Structure 1
């Protein structure tokens, strides 16, 4: 590995990371359309089979921060290899699971692996590519990953209707092994040299409890009852763990998360807009799935085909965001994504002509995809490279946890409203509300950005560095 030229090493890193993220995205988005088939094959209810999705999201949300920080502290190469290996092992377990219990456990293993792969992949690219090409590399990586997002519904519907849902997981195995081999050969060792090789284990335990409690309460609240003892206990555990985590991180000698990160206003703006975009994407895809199959009566395969147009623009949003980032500040790109996404969601609710549904849905995919995809690039532009894994882990925790909450909340609203109103009316009302909220936050991001300019906290206009990257824009003292 030492004999490699920098260019060869960077190409190897790109391939390893891009294939790993492609697998994670394809697996996640392919399984949504497979839940009914899993339920029928394993002889369980659809509600029970939903745990195949919930367990995965729970594992990811719990371990994003841990995975990112483990990479920064102990070495990004080892953390990435461990994450890919766990994901591959979980895929084998899912594909061969004899029942729902084993399948859910294997999905948790997959989720923990993915929770390491995502933030560590971002920090590996950040610390391997120089400033002049870093943003373009990240944009291209997310572009490849978003191809997995694009193909996910089509692959999931096709496999479920064809050879069976287990082939979704079998397809992950050779791709994961390819990524593992390339990473083993090409990914260099790197870590935050300013951090001692110590991990805040108590902080890890507390941060795991926060998304676990919230996600479990929201996912099961409708079934348990929102006022039930179990639901309230989960919320109480999450709140208590969150408070204790903040206290712990303020006092810890080597905190898991440096709370000064949240004094970096551009980082907070990017994280907020990215999280909201991911919530909008999760809700829009969920509602479109219900609309296409429940209202329009399309088969899983045909519904997946309709998803190709918006998903293709989601894939394009990765390289597009990197290109825009060469001429605009990260916060400006995020605000633009919010405007596109908000108008798309609101317009989709009013579409009645079938031929117009697909292009409007694609417009939604472009805005929402640009928002949550570019947030991963933008955070790397507004924080120091040595804290890349930590910043990425925090961002991804917000993205996944809030996305899961939005999805569960949407399902609860639909369940409570459909007896009184036609399903399509409920779907439209949710989309309109979501569009208005996304637009409003985009306006807030723009207003705060202009305020920071007047205060001199960020540069008054985009500054292009050597190679075309936008200069970092953390606030003073960040």
Structure 2
């Protein structure tokens, strides 16, 4: 949609605030489990369900919300997400038991599904070339860096003000975001003919994802070979096959599989899934140093502070390398450094002091790798998608993040808990994540061309990359 409007720093700030609201209620919640459990008087199992619902509903609805943003307006869907964020946070502030907690977490998940792809699409629409890459760097700082910032901030707020204040701050950020983007013109994809929403595809997708989520999160409780777990696996596999067949026959499918014919987009999305799966490292390393090395929760958190600083510091560096060399080089080096950073954490035979130093360095190198990868990958996904499907393409890309993280954490913890020796369990769990990082590197090398991105490419002029079979 041509409006002549050019994106501003005010728009970038509003979008980053919107993205941070997601991390305030997603990441901070993980850090305040004892306080919430004591205050609301609910079981740990019920609280864990409440925590996981946000990621689940975000993952299930993010592609639908991205496609809807292309059709009805990206600004409208961003604002809808921010309003839902306020409502969801209010539910948690007013909660005195499990009911409002669960309702609030579901609403927050749908809120995140609206905010993530619609804000990426706004940045694609109103920024070009180097300016778009700069805008996406700040988006990545809000997203990749926001998880670490909000984790620390959430702990501090909960300790000194009470856990409900986290959600008061979330509401403040959401309201500020709405005010900052209010003057931005509406943006839609050009579409011919009447739009029909794919309700059948969404229903099949939700059932399949619910079955997969239950297998990943509750498989150990149910028993990995129990009839219930195996039945859920069958439901997921049949649902997946039916979903693909139904989608290929739809005029307006929930997921347009033709997007993956574009090799750069496919490479960015596959590698994004796999590098997010490496998030299992954070769980394994933090658990191991507490159980196997006697660290407190605060000490283990301090071990990973280098990761947070490195991610935040390297995002703009990745953007600058992208502009000089194209996306392939920083994406490859990002995956290599991530692999090295994760691998050294598996050296559990080292004595305490040396291992502590190695883990601190490993976390920092891990953060450098992810920070270097973030903007080139997001820019490749955004610039390679057709302009009328950028919301849907962004939704798919972000769904890869959510599902990758869930899958990686579940598989890593399953490997870790299957081995009795704590040292050996940690090493095996870390090796699992090294495999994810190596597979990510392979997908980048196979799919991302040498001339992808950078100031002199078609992307710098706001043109989509030609589709490559």
Deviations along 1:22-51, one digit per CA (max 9) or x if unpaired, are 221233222222223333433344343221
The CA distance in 2 between the partners of 1:163 and 1:50, in whole Å, is 23
Question: Equivalent residue of 1:186, what SS?
Answer: coil
The CA distance in 2 between the partners of 1:86 and 1:322, in whole Å, is 32
Residue 413 of structure 2: aligned partner: 411
Residue 421 of structure 2: aligned partner: 421
Deviations along 1:91-150, one digit per CA (max 9) or x if unpaired, are 121232111332122111101100110011100111111334212211122224444222
Residue 98 of structure 2: aligned partner: 100
Residue 355 of structure 1: aligned partner: 357
Question: Equivalent residue of 1:31, what SS?
Answer: helix
| Structure 1 residues 186 and 471: alpha-carbon distance in aligned structure 2, compared to 1, 3 A threshold | closer
Work out whether 1:380 is the aligned partner of 2:382: yes
Residue 231 of structure 1: aligned partner: 229
| Structure 1 residues 323 and 309: alpha-carbon distance in aligned structure 2, compared to 1, 3 A threshold | same
Length, aligned pairs only: 462
Spell out the pairing of 1:286-325 with structure 2 (5 A cutoff).
286-325=283-322
* RMSD, matched Cα: 2.8
The CA distance in 2 between the partners of 1:337 and 1:140, in whole Å, is 18
Asked if 2 retains the 8 angstrom alpha-carbon contact of 1:86 and 1:110, the reply is yes
Work out whether 1:464 is the aligned partner of 2:455: yes
The CA distance in 2 between the partners of 1:462 and 1:65, in whole Å, is 24
> CA shift at 1:189, angstroms?
0.6
The CA distance in 2 between the partners of 1:265 and 1:397, in whole Å, is 18
Residue 339 of structure 1: aligned partner: 336
TM-score (norm 1): 0.88
Asked if 1 retains the 8 angstrom alpha-carbon contact of 2:125 and 2:187, the reply is yes
Work out whether 1:430 is the aligned partner of 2:429: yes
| Structure 1 residues 291 and 469: alpha-carbon distance in aligned structure 2, compared to 1, 3 A threshold | farther
The CA distance in 1 between the partners of 2:377 and 2:467, in whole Å, is 21
Work out whether 1:190 is the aligned partner of 2:187: yes
Deviations along 1:369-412, one digit per CA (max 9) or x if unpaired, are 44456432220122222221111111111221231122122223
Unaligned runs of 5+ in 2: none
| Structure 1 residues 192 and 473: alpha-carbon distance in aligned structure 2, compared to 1, 3 A threshold | closer
Residue 23 of structure 1: aligned partner: 21
> CA shift at 1:21, angstroms?
0.8
TM-score (norm 2): 0.89
Residue 257 of structure 1: aligned partner: 255
**Relative to structure 2, which stretch is displaced further, 113-122 or 285-294?**
285-294
Deviations along 1:147-194, one digit per CA (max 9) or x if unpaired, are 4222122223334444333232222111111112222x2232111112
The CA distance in 1 between the partners of 2:114 and 2:389, in whole Å, is 15
Residue 392 of structure 2: aligned partner: 390
Residue 455 of structure 1: aligned partner: none
> CA shift at 1:222, angstroms?
1.1
> CA shift at 1:77, angstroms?
1.1
The CA distance in 2 between the partners of 1:111 and 1:143, in whole Å, is 20
Residue 125 of structure 2: aligned partner: 127
Asked if 2 retains the 8 angstrom alpha-carbon contact of 1:221 and 1:231, the reply is yes
Asked if 2 retains the 8 angstrom alpha-carbon contact of 1:274 and 1:334, the reply is no
